[in-house]
Structure 1
């Protein structure tokens, strides 16, 4: 997965740079204050970009270390960084998220759709707050919400949400794009209204054009069915 990376460099004389841009600090700024100023800059970039940032930081003593700064301002180092790098498709979210997703699935499959919908909304909000709008965990949460929307009898909304997730995966260069696109296609076929189906078909066709040769057979089917829906 392509990652957004930045660098921090701090020097013993109280100066610092973020991605080569000097930090504006006052005379007498100590290392702790300098580091905090650098992290504020990186957090701002994470917020603007809507995704977590991988940072390589050089301390005044020359030590180099890697961390991940999330849009919430939370900083992860050590094993957490390695775990994020090793899980580009978000298939192994933190334990708290796994437990939450299991509750959502159980509620949805047992017919407690309103409970599932409420929890699905909350997990999306939490994942976005913790990791940013474009992090794999955020897209996984979006897919969970899409499944709940389907269980609630709104296949059109489910198709939209799966398409949103698929676009996000495509932007990350992730193989998860194709699975989300296929789920969107399956939900689209369950949309009963011709007008909504035609509109969603146009969106789905645009999405499938991102998939290259692998998506061509499905793209042709979508275009043909969309033409039928428009005519009828």
Structure 2
């Protein structure tokens, strides 16, 4: 997997451009322009879920090169290496392995509330370390959904899986279909928790329509028809006034 190149151009008046697009700094000056440009590159690395090479040109023509890695920050080219070929975080990252094991053990011991709290903590750690749209965040969101189901909150589990599905769709990830399938399964277990069954069904329909191309034609269409049919049934049964 090759590492993409991003170019930065810096001007002495505090302006900067990343791949030809101007990036606005909060204040003037070269240092602020450099910081704004590197912040923009860091966002690109997170969205691509992998490192990017940076070639930056200062106002005096000096060129400097670094690698921006979403996991390890700014590296010298010699320090950088390719990330494992697991952009969807199918394998549990080493940094979270102990926490995930603790959640699973708590569930096995019948300590569902402990598991739920630890899953929330893991998600907060992932957001703090990688930003809110990183694959690790969506995997921990799915872990939260699983623990919600285990404590009898299928509606909450459905909602969390839907959030994960949206995140995967925005990343263009094949993990979308797994998340939307789990959301659909949780929806079937929802017993009108606080009147949310129809509302969740409508959210599921909206997401299935948005993710139809990602989910893959026939499977998505069949699920969509099933959800719409069930929503109609619920309305006829009086779940919605």
TM-score category by the smaller chain?
0.7 to 0.9
Secondary structure class of the residue paired with 1:98: helix
Offset at 1:129?
A: 0.9
Residue pair 1:6, 1:42 contacting (<8 A) in 2 also: no
Q: Matched residue of 1:89: which SS? A: coil
Partner of 2:65: 64
The number of residues matched between the two structures is: 215
CA distance in 1, matches of 2:8, 2:105: 44
> Which protein has greater RCO, CA pairs closer than 8 Å, 6+ apart?
1
- For the pair 1:165 / 2:161, whether they are aligned, the reply is no
Aligned twin of 1:29? none
User: Offset of 1:5 from its aligned partner?
Assistant: 8.4
Counterpart of 1:88 in structure 2 is: 87
Q: Find the partner of 2:231 among 205, 226, 231.
A: 226
What is the deviation of 1:94?
A: 3.2
Structure 1 residue 110 displacement after superposition: 2.2
Instruction: Give per-residue Cα distances to partners, 1:61-84, cap 9 Å, x unaligned.
Output: 6453321357xxx61546776216
Q: 1:92 to 1:18 in 2, by over 3 A?
A: farther
SS in 1 for 2:196: helix
Could you say what secondary structure the match of 1:67 adopts?
Answer: strand
- TM-score, L = length of structure 1: 0.77
Q: Is the 8 A contact 1:66 1:81 kept in 2?
A: no
Q: Which runs of 5+ in 1 are unaligned?
A: 27-33
- Tell me how large the CA RMSD over aligned residues is: 3.4
Find runs of 4+ consecutive structure 1 residues off by over 6 angstroms.
13-16, 78-81
Look up the match of 2:34. Answer: 38
What residue number does 1:202 align with? 202
Q: Is the 8 A contact 2:123 2:137 kept in 1?
A: yes
Structure 1 counterpart SS, 2:123 = helix
Structure 1 residue 196: Cα displacement: 1.8
Aligned to 2:8: 8
- Asked if structure 2 preserves the Cα contact closer than 8 Å seen for 1:139 and 1:168, the reply is yes
